[in-house]
Amino acid sequence: MIKTKELNNFVAMNMTIRTGIKSDLPKVLELIQELATYEKAPHEVAVTIAEMERDGFGDNPIFKFFVAEAEGKIVGISLYYIKYSTWKGKCVFLEDIIVTESHRKYGIGKKLFDEVVKVAKEMKARRMEWQVLEWNEPAIKFYEKVNSHFDGEWVNCKLTENDIQSYFNK
**Domains of the chain, residue spans:** 4-131
Which phi and psi angles does 166 have, rounded to 5°?
-100, 5
| Reported confidence tier of residue 11, pLDDT bands at 50, 70, 90 | low
Is 81 noted as a catalytic residue in this protein?
A: no
pLDDT value at residue 77:
98
The answer to whether residues 42 and 33 touch, using CB atoms and an 8 Å cutoff, is: yes
CA distance 139 to 109: 9
CA distance 79 to 52: 11
Taking Cα atoms as reference points, which of 11, 25, 5, 38 lies closest to residue 109?
11
Q: Which residue has the higher pLDDT, 152 or 114?
A: 114
Q: Pick the catalytic residue from 38, 80, 81, 143.
A: 143
Instruction: Dump pLDDT digits (tens) for 94-147.
Output: 999 999 999 999 999 999 999 999 999 999 999 999 999 999 999 999 999 998
Instruction: Dump pLDDT digits (tens) for 40-57.
Output: 999 999 999 999 999 999
Q: Which residue has the higher pLDDT, 88 or 160?
A: 88
Taking Cα atoms as reference points, which of 158, 94, 154 lies closest to residue 130?
94
Q: Amino acid identity, residue 164? A: I
What is the pTM assigned to this prediction?
0.89
| Reported confidence tier of residue 155, pLDDT bands at 50, 70, 90 | confident
CA distance 130 to 17: 20
CA distance 22 to 36: 21
> Does the domain spanning 4-131 belong to CATH 3.40.630.30?
yes
